[in-house]
């Protein structure tokens, strides 16, 4: 009886692992992550933080895989005490087809955050705090990566990158 229980547990593990296996593999690297600080008047410094992603998709199977959806986003938060901004993901979805044993690299649009700081006050503006990528095949998630993992919930509603740039432009106008 004990042997059958162990056998059933192993069989269940193998079947669940094979059901989740996908020939599509993913690697994510931040492409741009820089901070420029320029000193202004009255001990004020402005900063710009920009992040884009390089997503590498690999088909490890000799069979082609079509209709791969790649959802990516960069997470920003507001640092202004007068207008708090919850963590928000700015990004988009793209559809890709991979031939057998093919790799493709996707370089995303850059998401920008801007702000200012003084010697005696907390920073104001926006801050980039993370990023994430989900790969879906047939509507099912086959690979995902969130840095840090606590911002995964932000990816339920991804805002377009253009609206993130408008927020950064508005922050720049307020700081001038």
- Domain definitions of the chain by residue range: 35-175
In sequence order, what E strands does the chain have?
24-39, 44-59, 65-78, 88-98, 103-107, 111-118, 124-137, 140-147, 159-160
Average pLDDT over residues 29-38: 77
**pTM, whole model, 2 decimals?**
0.77
Average pLDDT over residues 155-170: 75
pLDDT of residue 9: 53
* Percentage above 70 pLDDT, the chain: 73
Q: 């708090």: which residue's tokens?
A: 84
**pLDDT band with cut points at 50, 70 and 90 for residue 18:** very low
Distances (CA, A) of 160 to 139, 140, 164: 21, 22, 7
Protein fold of 35-175: Immunoglobulin-like (2.60.40)
Specify burial of residue 152 (Cβ count, 10 A radius: 0-12, 13-18, 19+).
middle
Q: Are strands 44-59 and 88-98 parallel, antiparallel or unpaired?
A: unpaired
pLDDT of residue 57: 97
H helical segments located in the chain: 2-20, 161-175
pLDDT of residue 95: 96
């Amino acid at each position: 009886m004990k042997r059958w229980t162990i056998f059933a547990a192993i069989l269940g593990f193998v079947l669940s692992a094979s059901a989740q296996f996908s020939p599509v593999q993913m690697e994510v690297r931040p492409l741009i992550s820089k901070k420029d600080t320029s000193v202004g008047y009255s001990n004020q410094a402005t900063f710009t933080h920009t992040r884009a992603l390089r997503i590498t998709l690999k088909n490890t199977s000799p069979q082609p895989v079509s209709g791969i959806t790649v959802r990516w986003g960069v997470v920003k938060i507001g640092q202004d005490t007068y207008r708090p901004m919850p963590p928000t993901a700015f990004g988009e979805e793209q559809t890709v087809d991979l031939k057998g044993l093919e790799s493709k690299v996707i370089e995303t649009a850059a998401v920008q955050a801007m702000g200012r700081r003084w010697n005696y006050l907390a920073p104001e503006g926006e801050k980039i705090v993370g990023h994430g990528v989900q790969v879906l095949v047939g509507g099912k998630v086959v690979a995902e990566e969130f840095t840090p993992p606590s911002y995964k919930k932000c990816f339920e509603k991804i805002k377009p990158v253009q609206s993130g740039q408008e927020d950064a432009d508005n922050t720049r106008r307020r700081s001038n």
